[in-house]
């Protein structure tokens, strides 16, 4: 088959078939169908949902993927990149990783990106440097193709946070979750309120199977008065009744004061889990 504008068709059989139609210009290629079976021992297992500790570093990455590339991107992230993230966790280089799709809403904030990746690092580690090589089991050419699909996105920005407190009552992260971005005015008081009363209240009485609070680290050069500096993530179990009542909130307010004086919500995002990796 001639190169140039012609396309290369590569088919690989392994339980199911992999059929990639790749343009000679790698930036224009489109996959028609991918069905990868890589490392069955590292496949979808019963992975336990890791519970971080206070002070662990959390990296959050905001990505924008072109609409016509989203399907292929998600396939590559689930069938290829998840194995890479799992290898980091198995080696102790990382604690937890997940990728979520963002549901667009009326806010400019939600339309600036369509995926969020979250890395939780081991205690005392600030980045994921020196995690070692990853052997995907694929040929060098296929490995390069998969990495190009994974990397074909705009990195809107990333930021570092410090884990404060939270809980996980389920064995794995739920499909749907809310991400709330706050501007906190009294950080010390807000953190103590979260740890001493808010998290225990929701853990015991609410229909939230998990909930986590993270403080954003200062942005070099200043973050401005409108930038968010706190992230709270949680999910809701619609089959369970919410037991948090006004009496509990009144008690909370008597102890800590009006919540509006402590923080202001800036944005809320609805997210859907694409894939994740955690300690087994």
Of residues 19 and 273, more confidence is placed in 273
Q: Which whole-number Å values give the CA distances from 222 to 59, 78, 79, 225, in the listed order?
A: 19, 36, 39, 9
Strand stretches in the chain, DSSP E: 7-14, 16-23, 57-64, 96-103, 115-120, 154-168, 176-184, 210-216, 230-234, 263-278
Q: What is the distance between the alpha carbons of residues 82 and 95, in angstroms, rounded to a whole number?
A: 13
What are 20-79's pLDDT values in tens digits? 333 333 333 344 343 333 332 233 333 335 689 999 999 999 999 999 999 999 999 999
DSSP state of 33: B
3-class DSSP state of 43: coil
Q: What is the pTM of this model?
A: 0.81
Residue 54's pLDDT is 96
Q: Is-contact 118 94, C-beta < 8 A?
A: no
Q: What is the distance between the alpha carbons of residues 113 and 195, in angstroms, rounded to a whole number?
A: 31
Q: Above 60 in pLDDT, residue 192?
A: yes
Q: Is-contact 267 62, C-beta < 8 A?
A: no
Q: Which whole-number Å values give the CA distances from 156 to 64, 108, 113, 153, 262, in the listed order?
A: 7, 13, 7, 9, 29
Q: What is the distance between the alpha carbons of residues 21 and 25, in angstroms, rounded to a whole number?
A: 12
Q: What is the distance between the alpha carbons of residues 90 and 260, in angstroms, rounded to a whole number?
A: 42
Question: What is the sign of the dihedral through the CA atoms of 64, 70, 73 and 79?
Answer: positive
3-class DSSP state of 246: helix
Q: Above 50 in pLDDT, residue 5?
A: no
What are 118-129's pLDDT values in tens digits? 999 999 999 888
What are 132-173's pLDDT values in tens digits? 788 888 999 999 999 999 999 999 999 999 999 999 987 788
Alpha-helical (H) ranges within the chain are 70-76, 82-90, 108-111, 140-151, 187-193, 199-205, 246-256, 259-262
What are 202-236's pLDDT values in tens digits? 999 999 999 999 999 987 666 666 789 999 999 99
The Cβ-side half-sphere exposure at 102, using a 13 Å CA radius, reads: 25
User: How many degrees, rounded to 5, is the angle at CA 239 between CA 237 and CA 240?
Assistant: 70
Q: Above 50 in pLDDT, residue 3?
A: no
Residue whose entry in the numeric block shows the structure tokens 């307010």: 253
The first and second tokens of residue 252, run together, are 């909370």
Contacts of 228 (CB under 8 A, 6+ apart): 181, 182, 183, 216, 266, 267
């Amino acid at each position: 088959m001639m190169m140039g504008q012609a396309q290369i068709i590569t088919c690989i059989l392994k339980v199911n078939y992999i059929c990639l139609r790749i343009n000679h210009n790698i930036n224009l290629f489109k996959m028609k169908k991918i069905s990868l079976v890589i490392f069955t021992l590292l496949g979808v297992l019963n992975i336990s949902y890791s519970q971080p500790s206070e002070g662990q570093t959390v990296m959050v990455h905001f990505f924008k993927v072109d609409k016509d590339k989203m399907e292929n991107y998600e396939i590559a992230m689930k069938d290829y990149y998840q194995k890479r993230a799992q290898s980091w966790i198995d080696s102790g280089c990382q604690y937890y990783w997940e990728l979520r799709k963002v549901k667009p809403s009326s806010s400019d904030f939600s339309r600036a990106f369509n995926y969020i990746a979250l890395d939780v690092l081991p205690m005392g580690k600030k980045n994921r440097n020196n995690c070692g090589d990853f052997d995907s089991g694929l040929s060098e050419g296929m490995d390069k193709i998969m990495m190009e699909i994974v990397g074909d996105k705009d990195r809107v920005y990333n930021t570092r946070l410090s884990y404060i407190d939270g809980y996980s009552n389920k064995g794995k992260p739920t499909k749907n979750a809310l991400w709330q971005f706050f501007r906190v005015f009294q950080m010390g008081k807000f953190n103590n309120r979260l740890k001493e009363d808010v998290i225990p209240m929701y853990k015991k009485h609410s229909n939230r199977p998990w909930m986590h609070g993270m403080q954003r680290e200062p942005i070099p050069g200043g973050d401005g008065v409108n930038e968010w500096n706190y992230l709270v993530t949680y999910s809701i179990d619609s089959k369970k009744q919410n037991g948090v009542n006004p009496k509990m909130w009144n008690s909370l307010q008597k102890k800590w004061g009006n919540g509006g004086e402590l923080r202001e919500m800036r944005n809320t995002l609805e997210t859907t889990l694409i894939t994740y990796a955690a300690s087994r």
